Structure 1
Amino acid sequence: MNDLASAGVPGRPLWDAPAVRAALRAAAPALAAFAAVRLLGLVALAVWSTANGKDWHTLLSARWDALWYTRVAEQGYGYAVQLPNGDVHSNLAFFPLLPWLERGLSALSPLSPADAGMVVAWLTSLAAAWALYATGERLHGPRAGTILAALWAALPVGIVQSMAYSESLFTALAAWGVYAVLTGRWVWAGALASLAGLTRPVGAAVVAAVLLTAAVTLWRQRAGGVRLRAALRAHPGMLPGVLLAPLGWCGFFLWVGARQGSFTGYLEVQGDWGNGFDGGTAFGAFIWHQLSGPTFAAGLALLVGVALVAWLYVHGVRQGQPLPLAVYGATVLLLALTAKGYFGSKPRLMLPAYPLLLPLAAGLARARPVRAWLVIGLLAAGSAAYGAFWLNGSGPP
């Protein structure tokens, strides 16, 4: 199951009602574990916020980026704020799928756009957990799938999964999109990649997973003497899927460019926010500043964290992680670690990089159940405490 060839074997339609019901029953323990971890985080946040004189609901639905998404849902694009230093922050920096869903859900229900965003996050975080279970189960068995979903919930910044942010929506689309590639459902893979590309800039990672996997699959078949037309016939839907995949990301990028009167208009909007990509120069300088000053311990911890992330990725690849997961994970990490801007947001930017957790899930699945769930319980408790502390403090911009 772990080789690339399995990714090109045509599978059943992704939406086969009896198969979906059976898959949901199989995933029920994983979804329950995920929900339990997230519920612990919400309870900790509610208790901490009450003691701190803050409203946990507001922290989840109406702070930081959630306000920008809500404004897009309510007013559309075109809003900008000019800071005292002259910088302009435009809401064109925010991709449209979450605001569209907020607007639609609030129009069909009594929910405000902000509450609709939180509902979308809660529901899509469950969808993401299901996709993670399906991925882990396919590669390492049901226990690994359940543990993978629980580990994702127990990440230190896991509380973001419950906020009116786009990370949960994106991870659900990305994880199911990559799973569709793994199972040879190319049209679904392309459609989900396109939707992921309308959700966050890192949607490019899902597009890369679809395109590179298709290219390598065809190249291997060509190297084996198979004609291109025959190779495409052997992988139904591959060509439409490949054509669909970049439409969302490219469409929004080009639309912002046309609106700004510049092909690189989206990059310029991000630049006005102080964001962009510099190959990791700014992040490296930030780490060096921490190491060379009174915050040496924090800098060292940050360096160890980056090294651990790199080790997890390399370890997963060495274990035979399938190409779509390896490409997707590498692209998410590359975009997160080479971006400049507010460095406190990097753990949140890496939240969708679930393939990093596969080696840990596989290892814990081989351990005794009591030991595995004790580890997950400790991680969940730490995540709950950190999430409550974080949102009552600086929080995720």
Structure 2
Amino acid sequence: MRDPIYILGAGPAGMAAAYRLTQLGFPVVVVEREEGVGGLAKSIRYQGFILDYGPHRFFTKIPAVLELWNQVLGSEQVTVRRLTRIYYRKQYFQYPIQAWEVLRKVGWWESLRIVLSYLWAQLIPRPAPSNFADWVKGKFGTQLYSHRLWQVTSTMITKNRLKQLSQLLQPSWQHLAPFLWQILLPSLALTVLQIFMISLWSKESDYVSIFKGLTQWDSHWYLSIVRRGYQFVGFDKIAYEQSNVAFFPGYPLAVAGISRLLRVDPELGLYLTAQLFCWLMWIYLFLFYRRWQIPLVWQILASLLILAYPTSFYLCVGYSESLFVASLLGFLYWSIRWERPLLMLLAGVHGLVMSATRIVGLPVALIPLLNLWSGSRRWLWNLATVSLALLGGLGFFLYCQLFFGSWDLYMKMQPYFGSSFVNYLAIVQAHTYTPLFSIDHWQSLFSPSRALGDQIWAISLSQLFVPLTLGSLLVTGLIDGISATAGKSQCWQERLGFHLAAWSMFYIALAGGSAVGQRSMSRYCLPVHIVQVLALVHWAKYTDFSFIPERIRPYLGNTLKLGYVLLAFIFFALNQILTWRYAHHLWVA
């Protein structure tokens, strides 16, 4: 008779070994110090309740082990939906880790440091790890290692556990990797490309000198607000250092915060802030692409059309464009489809920043009310989102009332910048478009000497953006409306918010700029263009084009391709001319 095989521990591994050895004819003795079997996977009865020592999870990639498990448990095996949370820094994180949740709770700056540290780890491989600390640093970077969640000293975990730990972390990496490669890195690459395109026209050689040398026009006003706060000493003393309540507070507040965080001079902070939010803007664009499952080729074409837009460089210089567009896209992203309270709250925070940055953010903040019209049952949360989104702009008016005794001081100061009144009928008045019928207007536009030196050229170009943008709004809205009415286009309710946002921004910008000859419309139309591109991409994705006759499709396709190439070429040429003008401190918009 064979001597028995002793197995220490009656947990799942010990019992499985005993079960298999018994099948093979070996005598087995299982030694267990507790009263029952199961180890850490067992359940105990306590005061009428069944309690578990911990989560009962079964994980294996070995088919034979999985087959054995199913064979033993049979019908007693229960499958439930897993709900696991990691409690870290007084916050709960989902497991497997969700990349967006980590960005939101850990913070953008810390997340950026983690990403850069990860990229550095991939570029500079470490030697073969001898413990867990080396393995994490080499696999994910030193910054993520600093956020370790374990209590055991990481150097005590040696090589024989690294393979198992790698398998356990794989689900988290599977969620993080697509976000990294499909969203974070492409958006970062486009931001860096924009910065590079601006630096090409500078005479300086280093980053700080290049961008500090670009400080001009509105950048001086923002800088005065950052350094001295809002001041008003009378309408007869309008200057950077005195009366400066002519700009909304969102961008100056962001510059002040990031400058202190990075410990840099506020003038450099103007550009770092703009470029960080430019990156965030591109992130939201790619998030929209992923949500709508836009084909890669379409993503590239749409992104290039935004990148080449004539005034897109304003996203990376000392202006509020990138903060406004990033918060606008974030507001639309979280408010249009989602109805979960926390996500609506996130939309409200984006809306607050949006309306605190530009006055045109106030009407856009009303867009979540469309959810009520579409039958949303969370009417209270939609109203709360709108209220929070309005708080940024309305809070600025309240500040002006409390500190300067006039809630509309912002509007009263606009005449001192050339805009003496707001013309709400400008969009339908003939004089808005009369420059287009002037020979001098077109001669100015096609004059190379004026393009590189005359302020009139930039103003003439801005005036041209008015009918072009209005025409694109009318055409895209008409096409979308016809296709939706005919039942050929789906999800048109989601696009409606984009169309309304584009129309609101264009109308208010035109009404405010009418008194000064629309001299800044080329810049004000930038967010309109970005929202329109997204609406167009969504429309193309969710529209059935089978109604177009087969014989027409090749000609239509070739026409669209030719039109895109021509438009992109014109955009890029104008972009480079305007970037050159801006780098040489000539008026652009």
Report the TM range for the smaller structure's normalisation: 0.7 to 0.9
CA distance in 2, matches of 1:175, 1:379: 22
Paired position in structure 2 for 1:3: none
Paired position in structure 2 for 1:316: 476
In the TM superposition, what is the alpha-carbon distance from 1:97 to its structure 2 partner?
2.1
Q: Which structure has the larger Rg over C-alpha atoms?
A: 2
Paired position in structure 1 for 2:406: 262
CA distance in 1, matches of 2:189, 2:557: 17
| Cα distance change of structure 1 residues 315 and 378 upon mapping to structure 2, 3 Å threshold | closer
The DSSP-based 3-state class of the residue aligned with 1:198 is: helix
Query: Structure with the greater relative contact order (CA < 8 A, sep ≥ 6): 1 or 2?
Result: 1
Are positions 1:350 and 2:495 aligned together? no
Paired position in structure 1 for 2:101: 16
In the TM superposition, what is the alpha-carbon distance from 1:117 to its structure 2 partner?
1.2
Gaps (5+ residues) in structure 1?
A: 1-12, 222-230
| Cα distance change of structure 1 residues 310 and 76 upon mapping to structure 2, 3 Å threshold | same
Paired position in structure 1 for 2:501: 328
Are positions 1:389 and 2:581 aligned together? yes
Paired position in structure 2 for 1:93: 246
In the TM superposition, what is the alpha-carbon distance from 1:241 to its structure 2 partner?
1.3
Per mean C-alpha deviation after superposition, the further-off stretch among 349-358 and 19-28 is 19-28
CA contact 2:195–2:316 (8 Å) conserved in 1: no
The DSSP-based 3-state class of the residue aligned with 2:200 is: helix
Q: For 1:364-379, what aligned pairs fall within 5 Å after superposition?
A: 376=568, 379=571
Which aligned runs of 4 or more in structure 1 are off by greater than 4 angstroms?
Answer: 18-21, 79-82, 296-304, 359-368, 370-379
The DSSP-based 3-state class of the residue aligned with 1:25 is: helix
For 1:246-265, what per-residue CA distance to the aligned partner results, in whole angstroms no more than 9, with x for missing partners?
A: 11111112222343423433
Q: For 1:1-397, what aligned pairs fall within 5 Å after superposition?
A: 15-17=100-102, 22-28=178-184, 30-31=186-187, 34-35=190-191, 37-46=193-202, 49=203, 56-60=210-214, 62-78=215-231, 88=238, 90-139=243-292, 141-143=294-296, 144-184=298-338, 185-210=343-368, 214=369, 216-221=370-375, 231-233=376-378, 237-275=381-419, 276-279=421-424, 281=426, 285=431, 287-288=433-434, 291-292=437-438, 294-297=440-443, 305-317=465-477, 318-319=479-480, 320=492, 322-340=495-513, 341-342=515-516, 343-353=518-528, 354-358=530-534, 376=568, 379-380=571-572, 382-396=574-588
| Cα distance change of structure 1 residues 40 and 15 upon mapping to structure 2, 3 Å threshold | closer
CA contact 2:191–2:275 (8 Å) conserved in 1: no
Q: With structure 1 as the length reference, what TM-score do the two structures score?
A: 0.77
The DSSP-based 3-state class of the residue aligned with 1:351 is: helix
In the TM superposition, what is the alpha-carbon distance from 1:388 to its structure 2 partner?
1.3
AA aligned opposite 1:295: H
For 1:8-42, what per-residue CA distance to the aligned partner results, in whole angstroms no more than 9, with x for missing partners?
A: xxxxx994236676434322564256236414522
| Cα distance change of structure 1 residues 25 and 289 upon mapping to structure 2, 3 Å threshold | closer
Identity %: 21
For 1:68-104, what per-residue CA distance to the aligned partner results, in whole angstroms no more than 9, with x for missing partners?
A: 111111111105686xxx5846311111122222222
Paired position in structure 1 for 2:93: none
CA distance in 2, matches of 1:107, 1:301: 38
Gaps (5+ residues) in structure 2?
A: 1-97, 103-171, 446-459, 481-491, 542-555
Would you tell me which structure has more helix in proportion to its own residues?
A: 1
In the TM superposition, what is the alpha-carbon distance from 1:240 to its structure 2 partner?
2.5
The DSSP-based 3-state class of the residue aligned with 2:264 is: coil
| Cα distance change of structure 1 residues 219 and 162 upon mapping to structure 2, 3 Å threshold | closer
CA contact 2:424–2:511 (8 Å) conserved in 1: yes
Q: With structure 2 as the length reference, what TM-score do the two structures score?
A: 0.54
CA distance in 2, matches of 1:74, 1:339: 28
AA aligned opposite 1:249: G
CA distance in 1, matches of 2:371, 2:539: 29
For 1:235-293, what per-residue CA distance to the aligned partner results, in whole angstroms no more than 9, with x for missing partners?
A: 78424312212111111122223434234333212233333521254996464256446
CA contact 2:248–2:357 (8 Å) conserved in 1: yes
Paired position in structure 2 for 1:4: none
In the TM superposition, what is the alpha-carbon distance from 1:127 to its structure 2 partner?
0.8
